[in-house]
Structure 1
Amino acid sequence: MQITSTAALFAATVLAAGPAVGQAVALPKVETRVAYPNLKFDRPVALDYPREDPSRYYVAEQHQAKVWSFPSSPRDTSEKALFLELPDPINRGNEEGLLGLAFHPKYKENGQFFVYYSAKDAERRSVVSRFKVSKDDPLKADPASEERIWVSDVDRWENHNGGTIRFGPDGYLYITLGDGGAADDPLSTGQNPKDWFGSILRIDVDHPADGKAYGIPADNPAAGSKAHKHWAPEVFAIGLRNVWKFSFDRETGDLWAGDVGQNLWEYVHKVDNGGNYGWSIREGFHPFQPNRRQKADPAGPIKPPYAEYPHQPTADRPDSGLSITGGYVYRGSAIPALKGWYVYGDYDSGRIWALKPEGGKAAASGEILKLTPQNKLNITSFDETPDGELLILAFDGRIHELAPAK
C-alpha cells in the first residue's frame, strides 16, 4: 500500500516567471506520496542507478557517508544493502558530507561509479572519486579501489559546495560546486572563470591527459572558443552561486539547474556551454549590490534565469522559499498534463513548481502542489526513474514520488 502524503493542487493563474507577468494558464495538478513505505534513510541527498540495469536503486546519505542499494521493485520492499561506506574522516558541516553519486554509463562493463564528498584533508576541499564494484559481490563496492579523479582548490568556508555530479548525454562527467561560501561572494569567484568556484565543470573521465586523472572535452569553452580562452579548461559555465541539483532533459539533452540565491531570490537556469549566469552581479533577474561595481566576464553576455521566486511572500508572489532544489523536465506518462514541464522545489518551504519552456523563456510557471502542513517536505533531490517518473528525496528519510492528483 502506498501512503498518500499530499493533497491535490489548485489549477489557477500562472505566477510570474520573472519580471513580466505570465498569461493565465491552467497548471497541472499533482500530489506526492511515499514510494517505498518500508524504507528509510538518514539525510538522503542523491539517488542513482546503472542505466543498463535499473533493477536496483542507490541512495547516498549525506552525513553517514553511506550508499545503500535496494530493489527498485516491488515498492513494498524492506530490503536494503550497504553498498559503500566512505572511510573517515570527512567533513560533516550542514552543507558538507557525501553529496553526489553517479554511475558510469558503461557500469555493466567497467564497474565504475563516482562520488562527490567533502574531504577532511589538511585543508578543506571537495573531491570527486572513482570507485569500482567488488569483484566478489555485485552488491558491494570495493572501498580500496578509490581513486581521486578531481580535487577542488582550498575551500575556506563549509557552505556552498554544490555537490551534484551527473554524466551527460555526451558521456562526460559534469560537476557543480558553489562560489566558495560565506556571503556576498567575498572572493569574487562568480565572475572569475579562471578558478572552478561558482561554476559547472565538465571533464572526460575515460581519457586522462596531461598528467591528470581526466581529460578535457574538445568543445569545452576554453578549448573551443577564442572568446573563452582565458577560462579554466574544466569550466563549462560560470556565474552560479550554489547550484543545488541539475539534470539533463532525456529528450533534448538540455541541462537545467536550480541555483540557490542569497537574501532575496531563488532561480532556475537552462545552462549552455560557455554561459554566464550573472552571479555575483545579479541575483536572479535583479542587480546584486551594484555599488560593488564588479565587472562581468567579457566572454559573453549574462544570461537571465528562466524563473525565480522570492524569499519573502508578497501580494503578487505568495509562493516563497529559501533554498531551491533543482529537478527534471518531466517525461513520464503518469501525469500527461505535466509532460515537457521542468519541475523543481524548495528545501525550506516544501513548495513544488513547474515551468513550461518555450522560445528561450518560461511561457508559464507556477506552483503545482497545494502545500499543507501534512505534505510539507524538506526536499533534497528530485530523481528520475527509467520511465521518466519523478522521485523525491527528503529529510524525513523517505523516498516520495510525484503523482497525479486524485
Structure 2
Amino acid sequence: MRYRWFILTGALLLALAFLIPAMPAHRTTLAQTSERCFTETDYCIAGRIREYWEQNGGLPVFGLPITPQREEVIEGQPLQVQWFERNRLELHPENARPYDVLLGRLGVDTLEQQGRDWFAFPRSDAAEAGCLYFAETGQNVCGPILSAWRANGLELDGAPGKTTAENLALFGLPISPAQTERLDDGNEYTVQWFERARFEVHPENAPPFDVLLGLLGNSIQQNGGPVPPAPATDPNAWPVIQMSDPVSGAERPTTITHAGDGSGRLFITEQVGRIRIIEDGQLLPTPFLDISNRVSCCGERGLLSVVFPPNFTSKQYFYIDYTDTNGDTVIARYFVAADNPNIAEPASEQVILRIEQPFANHNGGQLAFGPEDGYLYIGMGDGGGGGDPQQNAQNRQSLLGKILRINVEGNTGGQPYTIPGTNPFARDATARPEVWALGLRNPWRFAFDQVTGDLYIGDVGQDFMEEINVQPASSTGGENYGWRVVEGDRCFVEEDCDTSGFTAPTITYDHAGGRCSVTGGVVYRGREFPVMYGTYLYADYCSGDIWGLRQRDGEWQNQLLQDSTLVVSTFGYGEDGNIYIGDYNTGQIYRITATQ
C-alpha cells in the first residue's frame, strides 16, 4: 500500500524508506553543512526553506522533501520552490518575514487536477453547533477536524499557542464540507478539503492519529506536476488590461466590495448615500441601503465606504463611513433585514465613532478589516482647507491625517470600540491611541494584499506630487509619512526640510499630463490572469491613467498600463478574485481583464 499521509501531531514521525513512493532519479548531493538531508528520499533542505520548515512544524506538517529546490513558473512568476509530501514552499524575497516563504494552494490544485470544481461543493449559510464557520467559503469545520486545524499553524507572532491567523496561514480556508470520499487505497473516509490541505478522519486510530493529512504534494507530482500547468508567459511582461463587462446605473460610485458570503454579489456605495447591489451582472433596482437623508453630499463628502466583517453570514451587519449633515465623519454599523438579504435596515444604525471635520474636503473615507488581525482600519484626511492649516497630520492628538485601527468585532465591554493593545500609541498619553499611522494628507483609498497582508495606501497630494505607500505586513504601526512637511518625495513647507523619522513613499508621480489625484487600488490575486498576479493597480482620477506596481527581486517596478478615458474613483475585489473599477462620471462598473 502506498504511504499516503503523515500524522497531524506535534510528535515527529520518521517515514521508512520502503514506504516512500518512487522518486525521480536525480538526487541532491547529501551532507552539505548548511543542509539537512533525508536518506528516505535523498533530498536536502537548506537556507530559508530549511529554516521555515523547521520553525513551522517540520516533518509532521510538511513531510519529506520530494524535489530539490528549483525554479518553477507559478501563476506567471518565476519562483524558487521546493516540493514536499504535503505542500510546496515558495521563496518570495520581495516580502518581509515571515511572508518571504509562502505555501502553495495544493488543496485547490489537487481538485483542479482531478477535474473537480470546489465552487460546486455544498455551502452553508450559518454556523452549526460546536463548529467554526467561515463565511468566506460557506463552510463549517467541526469535531476532530476542527481540533486538528486549531492545533497547528505557522508561527507568525512568536507567542505560545496558535491563533486563527496562524491556522489559516498553514491550511487556508475550508473549501468543502466534511464528506465521504474513496481515496487511493480503495477505502472510504470522511475528508474535508482546505485551500492547502486535505484532512482525513480515521476513527480506527486513537487520537491524535485519528486525523491525518493527505500527501497532496506527492499526488500532484506523480500526476503531472503543478496545477495549473505553468503558463507560457514572459515573467517580465506587464499585463495588457481591458475594461470588460460594464454594468450601468450606479451614481457616483465610491466603493466596490463583496460580503464574503458566497453569494457573488458586488456592493457599490454611491456618494449620495445609497448602497447598490450588482447580482448576476445586473444592478438591482432597489438599494441595499438608502440613508441619503442623513448624508452630506458631494464634493469630497458623502457615503464613502462600506465594509463587511469577517464571518458576515453569521453576523448580518456591516460598517459604513459617511459625512453627516453637520459635515462630520461617522463610522456606523447597520444590520441586514431578517427577511431579505438584499435589504438593510436604515433604522438599525449604531454609531461607532464620530469625528469632527473643520473643512469640507479631505475626508478620507476608506474602511477595511485587517486580513490577519481582524481590526477595523479607517482612513482619515487632514481635515482640509489646503496645506493642512491646522497641522493635523503631524499632531498625534488629532485623528485627522491618519490611518486609525480599532477593535469593533472582539469583546468591546459594551463600548462601541476598544483599542488594540498592539496599537503603536496604545499606552502613549501624548497621542490618540486609535492612531495606526500618521502624516497623511488624504488617504482616499487603501487596500490590503490578501496574500501577503501588506497595506497599500494611496495618499492624494496637493500641488505637485501623488504617492503610494506600502506598509509591510510585519509593521507594528506608527509610520509617519511626512505630510505636511513633505508632499510625496519633496519638501512642501520649506526648501530644505528635515525628513528624519519619516517613511518615504514607495512610488510618486507628478501632475504632468493633467494628472491631479491618485486613486489607490488593489493587488490582483486571482487565478484567471497569471500575467497580472501580484500586481497592484492604481489610477489618477483626473487623467484616467492606470498603472501597475509590483516588486521584483526586492525592487519596485511601476508601469503605465492604460491611458483610459475613465474618471476612476475606486477599485475593488469580487468574490471571484477579479478586480473591478468604477467610473465616477458615468457610474459604470467594469471588470478588469488582462492578456500578455
C-alpha separation between the residues in 1 aligned to 2:245 and 2:332? Answer: 30
Separation in 1, partners of 2:346, 2:377:
23
Q: Is contact 2:467-2:506 (8 Å) kept?
A: yes
Which of 11, 20, 33 does residue 243 from structure 2 map onto? Answer: 33
Kept after mapping to 1: 8 A contact 2:266/2:574: no
Asked if 2 retains the 8 angstrom alpha-carbon contact of 1:34 and 1:399, the reply is: no
Unaligned 5+ runs, structure 2 = 1-234
Matches within 5 A, 1:244-323: 244-271=444-471, 272=475, 273-290=477-494, 301-313=501-513, 321-323=515-517
Q: TM-score, normalised by structure 2?
A: 0.57
- Which of the numbers 102, 111, 132 marks the counterpart of 2:316? 111
The residue type paired with residue 40 of structure 1 is G
Q: Structure 2: how far apart are the matches of 1:184 and 1:361?
A: 32
| Residues 342 and 357 in structure 1, CA contact (< 8 A), matched pair in contact too | no
After TM superposition, the structure 1 = structure 2 runs for residues 152-231 of structure 1, keeping only pairs within 5 Å, are 152=355, 154-169=356-371, 170-207=373-410, 209=412, 212-223=415-426, 230-231=430-431
Distance in 1 (CA, whole Å) between partners of 2:505 and 2:286 is 40
TM-score relative to the length of structure 1: 0.82
- For the Cα contact (< 8 Å) 2:267–2:277, is it kept in 1? yes
Amino acid corresponding to residue 365 of structure 1 in structure 2: N
SS of equivalent residue, structure 1 residue 290: coil
Counterpart of 1:8 in structure 2 is: none
1:383 is paired with a residue whose SS is: strand
* Structure 2 residue 260 is the aligned partner of structure 1 residue 51: yes
Distance (Å, rounded) in 1 between the aligned partners of 2:567 and 2:246: 17
Picking from 284, 287, 290, the partner of 1:85 is 290
Q: How many residues align?
A: 356
Gaps of 5+ in 1: 1-24, 314-319
CA distance in 2 between counterparts of 1:188 and 1:244 reads 18
Distance 1:360 1:266, change over 3 A: farther
1:346/1:208 CA distance change after superposition, 3 Å: same
Q: Which has the higher helix share?
A: 2
Q: Judging changes above 3 Å, is the alpha-carbon distance between structure 1 residues 292 and 195 closer, same or farther for their aligned structure 2 residues?
A: farther
How far residue 388 of structure 1 moved from its aligned partner, in angstroms, is: 2.6
- What SS is found at the alignment partner of 1:109? helix
* Mapped contact 1:221–1:231 kept (Cα < 8 A): no
Q: SS of 2:314's equivalent? A: helix
> 1:41 offset after TM fit, Å?
0.6
Distance in 1, Cα, partners of 2:268 & 2:412: 31
Shift of 1:340: 1.4
Aligned to 1:385: 574
Cα displacement (A) at 1:78: 5.3
**1:332 alignment partner, SS class:** coil
- Over 3 Å counting, the alpha-carbon distance change for 1:194 and 1:342 in structure 2 is same
Q: Is contact 1:130-1:148 (8 Å) kept?
A: yes
Superposition deviation, residue 386 in structure 1: 2.3
Q: After TM superposition, give the deviation of residue 274 of structure 1 in Å.
A: 1.3
Q: 2:587 — aligned with what?
A: 397
Contact 1:246 1:258 in 2 (8 A): yes
Q: CA RMSD in A?
A: 2.2
Measured after TM superposition, the shift of residue 58 of structure 1 is 1.2
Task: Name the SS for the 1:163 alignment partner.
Answer: coil
Tell me the CA shift for residue 341 of structure 1: 1.8
Q: What's the secondary structure of 1:337's corresponding residue?
A: helix
**Residues 151-174 of structure 1: per-residue CA shift (max 9 Å, x gap):** 11x212111001011111121111
Corresponding residue SS for 1:215: coil
Amino acid at match of 2:515: G
Task: Give the conservation status (yes or no) of the 8 Å contact 1:203–1:215.
Answer: yes
Q: Is 1:140 equivalent to 2:140 in the alignment?
A: no
The residue that corresponds to 1:60 in the other structure is 269
Q: Displacement of 1:81 after TM fit?
A: 3.2
Check the 8 A contact 2:321/2:367 in 1, yes or no.
Answer: yes
Give the residue type in structure 2 aligned to 1:397: G
Tell me the CA shift for residue 177 of structure 1: 1.0
Q: Residues of 2 paired with 1:218 and 1:356: CA distance?
A: 32
* Secondary structure in 2 matching 1:144: strand
Matched with 2:531 is 337
Match of residue 103 from structure 2: none
Which residue of structure 1 aligns with residue 204 of structure 2?
none
Which letter maps to 2:361? N
Residue 91 of structure 1: how far off its partner (Å): 1.3
Q: Distance in 1 between matches of 2:449 and 2:349?
A: 30
Partner of 2:138: none
**78-87 or 166-175: which moved more?**
78-87
Identity across matched positions, percent: 34
Change (3 A) 1:211 1:233: farther
The more displaced of 159-168 and 383-392 is 383-392
Shift of 1:32: 2.6
Task: Tell me the CA shift for residue 360 of structure 1.
Answer: 6.3
